[in-house]
Amino acid sequence: MIGRSIAGAVAIVLVLAACDAGTEATTTTTTTSTTLSPEALTAAEYEADVELINQLWWDQSISWFEGFESGIQFWVENNYPDMGCTFDDYMVSRYPDGSVEDLQIERIANPPTIRIDEGWTIPGGRLEGEEAKGRVYSMAVRTIRSAPSLPEEPPETVNLHVTVLDGRAHFFFGCPPPRSAG
């Protein structure tokens, strides 16, 4: 019961943080879809991009606190546009057994690790080998997944990529075909 109370308190803090930062991030950012070299990126552009990136991860976590379908829909709406993944694609590829009640996915970027990754190419899926559009950043992201119906998983930190494209941050969550039983 204490764990649920803490999770609820964290959700409230995340919502308040998102509400406070969300408006500023959308009104002060002037990014474009062109790729700039690290040398051409101004400090102000970098700071605005980092704010968008952090907001993306916070909002993704909040969406999972709102429910399974909300979390998947957030992936659809905030994935790299050319990826073309749909709600059904994610269900088939990542959750073939159906929705997981009370699944929580929290992702937090480590801001000092956020670095521009000029020339990064998408490593797999429908766009494998294509250079991503926008200003692409690499960063360490801590992921915590939990659900009462699943075995406990330790948090993991992995290197992920985000692009800032036309004033929005997008992650690269693929929707590979399901594994064949065989």
Q: Is residue 177 part of a domain?
A: no
In a domain, 116, yes or no: yes
Is position 182 within any domain? no
Query: Total structural domains in the chain?
Result: 1
CB contact burial 154-172 (16+ within 10 A = b; e otherwise): eeeeeebbbbbbeebbbbb
Q: Over pLDDT 90: what percentage of the chain?
A: 64
Q: Give a yes or no: residue 120 inside a domain.
A: yes
Q: Does residue 30 form part of some domain?
A: yes
Report field, pTM of the whole predicted structure over 0.85: no
* Residue at 53 is within a domain: yes
20-53, pLDDT tens digit by residue? 333 333 223 333 334 555 567 899 999 999 999 9
Angle at 157 between CA 108 and CA 171, to 5 degrees: 55
106 domain residue, yes or no? yes
176 inside domain: no
What is the extent of the structural domain holding 75?
A: 2-171
